[in-house]
Amino acid sequence: MNPEIDTKNKDATDVSSPDQPAGQPQQTAEPAPRAPSETKRAAHSVTVENLHAYYGGQEAIKGMSIKFPANEVTALIGPSGSGKSTVVRCINRMHEEIPGARAEGKVMLDDLDVYDAKVDLTAVRRAIGMVFQKPNPFPTMSIFDNVAAGLRLTGTKSENLRETVHKALRGVGLWGEVKNRLSEPGIGLSGGQQQRLCIARTIAVEPEVILMDEPASALDPVSTLKIEELVEELKERYTIVIVTHNMQQAARIADTTAFMLDGELIEHGPTNKIFTTPEDERTERYVTGKFG
Ligand code: ADP
């Protein structure tokens, strides 16, 4: 097994969306959105086996196994404190950055053992990108440099850099809104635009998996809708795991939904089944609003 992860030899086809701000003329100079068949790319699945995660002596994840299928959206739902964020942080090994925190068990990206001692941690985090609840553009950087940041770390040459940054901005539907202000600070954008900028930064390095921890919960309804539409498009090229406390959102965008409670996976299945005919009584009580 090769502990290096090759994410470079992928075509960087963009996933343009007609994301035009209301009241503005349609941008005619834009390249036409590509046909879905051209935007598709087979991503990798993630398999978690018997994961235990700790904060000091507290066991936050108590032996969880789950598979996140490639090119699908999987929603993690459950009450606050049930371990959703901890699980996603274990997938790209960010959990271990928290002082006193550790994880045991297996996380596989296809056939790559993410916790293998020989694995290149930077390559893992490039292959498994993360988007947080609060948009976190680099505060001193321009819009362009925010998206270019990860690419520069990989040594991308400047001509390719420009092209890839522009593609990533088109891919999140932000190009029309920012193309004339690429050198302005990223933090000058609205909250929803900042979140799409952060997603552009993530997809610029062509990851396999995008982890999203409540990516829309700090946003207004219109921006939330844009993020949801974007997630639908992104699964053509990436495997997506999204933590959400919003059950309507899970129902709208997730292919499968996993319900967690007290550090355990209670049930994982097709989203429609989880919300209408779940197997476990605790899932039913949660999705019908009886607790949480
Ligand atoms: P959720 O995302 O479902 O709200 P979390 O994964 O954030 O749940 O939390 C799971 C458990 O781990 C909770 O008991 C929480 O208090 C604890 N926890 C989360 N983050 C930390 C941390 N940085 N330090 C200590 N305990 C934490």
C-alpha span between 70 and 74 (Å, rounded): 10
At what angle are helices 191-204 and 143-153 packed, to 10 degrees?
20
Quick one: pLDDT at residue 156? 80
Q: Indicate the SS3 state at residue 130.
A: strand
The pTM of the full predicted model, rounded to 2 decimals, is 0.88
pLDDT at residue 200 greater than cutoff 80: yes
Element containing residue 169 per DSSP (H, E): helix 158-171
Tokens for 257?
């939904």
pLDDT at residue 74 greater than cutoff 90: yes
Evaluate: CB of 81 within 6 angstroms of ligand 1: yes
List, for residues 242-285, the tens digit of each pLDDT value: 999 999 999 999 999 999 999 999 999 999 999 999 999 999 99
Domains by residue range for the chain, with CATH = 39-287 (3.40.50.300)
**Residue minimizing CA distance to atom 6 of ligand 1:** 83
List, for residues 136-186, the tens digit of each pLDDT value: 999 999 999 999 998 998 888 877 899 999 999 999 999 999 999 999 999
Q: Is 54 exposed, middle or buried (0-12, 13-18, 19+ CB in 10 A)?
A: middle
List, for residues 76-106, the tens digit of each pLDDT value: 999 999 999 999 999 999 999 999 999 999 9
Between the CA of 58 and the centroid of ligand 1 the distance, in Å, is 10
List, for residues 221-248, the tens digit of each pLDDT value: 999 999 999 999 999 999 999 999 999 9
**What confidence tier does 50 reach under pLDDT thresholds 50, 70, 90?**
very high
pLDDT at residue 12 greater than cutoff 70: no
Q: Are 148 and 142 within 8 A, CB to CB?
A: no
Extended strands (E) in 20-146: 46-55, 58-68, 73-77, 101-109, 112-113, 128-131
pLDDT at residue 287 greater than cutoff 50: yes
Q: Give the DSSP letter of residue 261.
A: E
At what angle are helices 143-153 and 158-171 packed, to 10 degrees?
120
Between the CA of 216 and the centroid of ligand 1 the distance, in Å, is 20
β-bridge pairing 73-77 and 46-55: unpaired
Evaluate: CB of 80 within 6 angstroms of ligand 1: yes
